[in-house]
Amino acid sequence: MAPPVTPFNSQVIRDAFPILGRRVHGKPLVYLDNAASAQKPEAVISAMAQFQRTSYANVHRGLHTLANEATQAFEDARTKVAHFIGAGSAEEIVLTKGATEAINLVAAGISQRLEPGDEILISELEHHANIVPWHMAAQRTGAILKWAPITPDGALDMDKLSALITPRTKMVAISHMSNVLGSVQDVTAIVAMAHAQGALVLLDGCQGVVHQSIDVHAIGADFYVFSGHKMYGPTGIGVLHGTPAALDALPPWQGGGEMIEIVSKERITYNVPPFRFEAGTPAITEAVGLGAAIDWIQSQDQAGLHAHEQALLNYTMEALHGVNGVRLYGTAPGKGAIVAFNVDGAHPHDVAQLLDRSGVAVRAGHHCAQPLMTALGVTATARASFAAYTTFEEVDLFLAALAKARNFLL
Ligand code: PMP
């Protein structure tokens, strides 16, 4: 099958990512581990270096020029995030260390309101980051953790999910797009069902924010979280979006500088959101990097970029469908550019290592989704995940390397 021609020019994009020029085991790097972390364009790398060279200082409390410039750069990043996801204002954006920290922050706050017998609803396809904090909240409070199951094609079973939401449900925490199966959930429907029963909704947007344009206002969840490093930004920075009402009602999490209003020997009063949730010196340079990543994404044809990823996905799924000895996981319609697979009789770690010898980087393991592995009846899978810079030629190299590995392993 000949690769389709899309109007999208990946080569121009590739030139913006210096790491893509390197070789691995003497072969051109084919980086298909984007769901774990994406590579960084020069614009992000140089924005961070430039900030450190020219305007670096601590933020918020300073009166000198550099402190003001750094504060401006940090707050500009917050504003960029707000515009990027359609938030009502920058005050709705809490900058965290990553999605994991954002979910822990919300779970810890919600725990203070939970009572024994209250219910938290998550699903079988969650990343551990959206499981463990809720397990811990349930353990601390006596709340009950309930699990929405998946359909055979790897989407959420919406009928069963709907039946699991009751007046006792206090939180529904669901991944917008599965990091293993790529399935995209009908999040507006989930929000409507949860809100009808008075439950809050947290959406884990780690993958969702990368593969489609997000409008948190239209989605209507109380909380939407994601990490910078999967969207071409740096590690160490992530986002908690909360509606003004949801953030106002959330108690402080970590204590320290910046999250307070007044501290005396007798008492503390707390700052308003988002600062109430940002104790201590934040990841200043990383926030600048996240802002640069958003600028970079917005300088691209985003609709074209998403269509290109979708075309890569369809091409790969078609090529692998029905190949003897290759099993695909996650075939739900509308899924994003992630392909989970196994080679019959081979451990995915061996598959990943053989692919690496051909320069192809894929991930193998449980992908921090052990309950999902159990639901799929496996302990691990291999996973190829695409990005804006992935080309059809790379997919062909991946398919050829996989065919070679399969012949070797079968
Ligand atoms: N949720 C999903 C769906 C993810 O893919 C990931 C990262 N693999 C996370 C949560 C956790 O993100 P981080 O490690 O950046 O906090």
> How do residues 181-226 score in pLDDT, each as one tens digit?
999 999 999 999 999 999 999 999 999 999 899 999 999 999 999 9
Q: How confident is the model at residue 10 (pLDDT cuts 50, 70, 90)?
A: confident
Q: Is the CB of 129 under 6 A from ligand 1?
A: yes
Q: DSSP alpha helices (H): ranges in 249-364?
A: 284-298, 302-320, 348-357
Q: Is the CB of 179 under 6 A from ligand 1?
A: yes
Asked if 320 and 141 touch (Cβ cutoff 8 Å), the reply is: no
CA distance 97 to 234: 10
| Average pLDDT for 296-315 | 95
| Average pLDDT for 90-119 | 98
Q: Where are the beta strands (DSSP E) in 142-199?
A: 144-148, 169-175
**Mean pLDDT estimate for the chain:** 96
368 flagged as catalytic: yes
Neighbouring-strand partners of residue 29? none
DSSP 205-265: -TTHHHHS---HHHH--SEEEEESGGGTS-SS-EEEEE-HHHHHTSPP-S-STTSEEEE-S
| Average pLDDT for 160-180 | 98
Task: With 0.95 as the threshold, say if the pTM is over it.
Answer: yes
pLDDT digits (tens, 9 = 90+) for 363-409: 999 999 999 999 999 999 999 999 999 999 999 999 999 999 998 88
How many degrees, rounded to 5, is the angle at CA 344 between CA 340 and CA 350? 75
Go through the domains of the chain in sequence order and give each one's CATH number.
Answer: 10-31+301-409 (3.90.1150.10), 47-298 (3.40.640.10)
Nearest of 96, 16, 23 to residue 273 by alpha carbon: 96
Task: Determine the pLDDT at residue 410.
Answer: 77
111: exposed, middle or buried (Cβ count in 10 Å: 0-12, 13-18, 19+): buried
User: If DSSP codes are grouped into helix, strand and coil, which group holds residue 9?
Assistant: coil
pLDDT digits (tens, 9 = 90+) for 316-327: 999 999 898 999
Q: Is the CB of 233 under 6 A from ligand 1?
A: no
User: If DSSP codes are grouped into helix, strand and coil, which group holds residue 342?
Assistant: strand
User: If DSSP codes are grouped into helix, strand and coil, which group holds residue 326?
Assistant: strand
**Lowest-pLDDT range, 5-9, 199-203, 339-343?**
5-9
Task: Give percent of the chain with pLDDT exceeding 90.
Answer: 94
Instruction: Please tell me the residue having the least CA distance from ligand 1 atom 12.
Output: 99
Asked if 341 and 32 touch (Cβ cutoff 8 Å), the reply is: no
What tokens were used for 339?
Answer: 């392909």
Q: Catalytic one among 24, 132, 368, 409?
A: 368
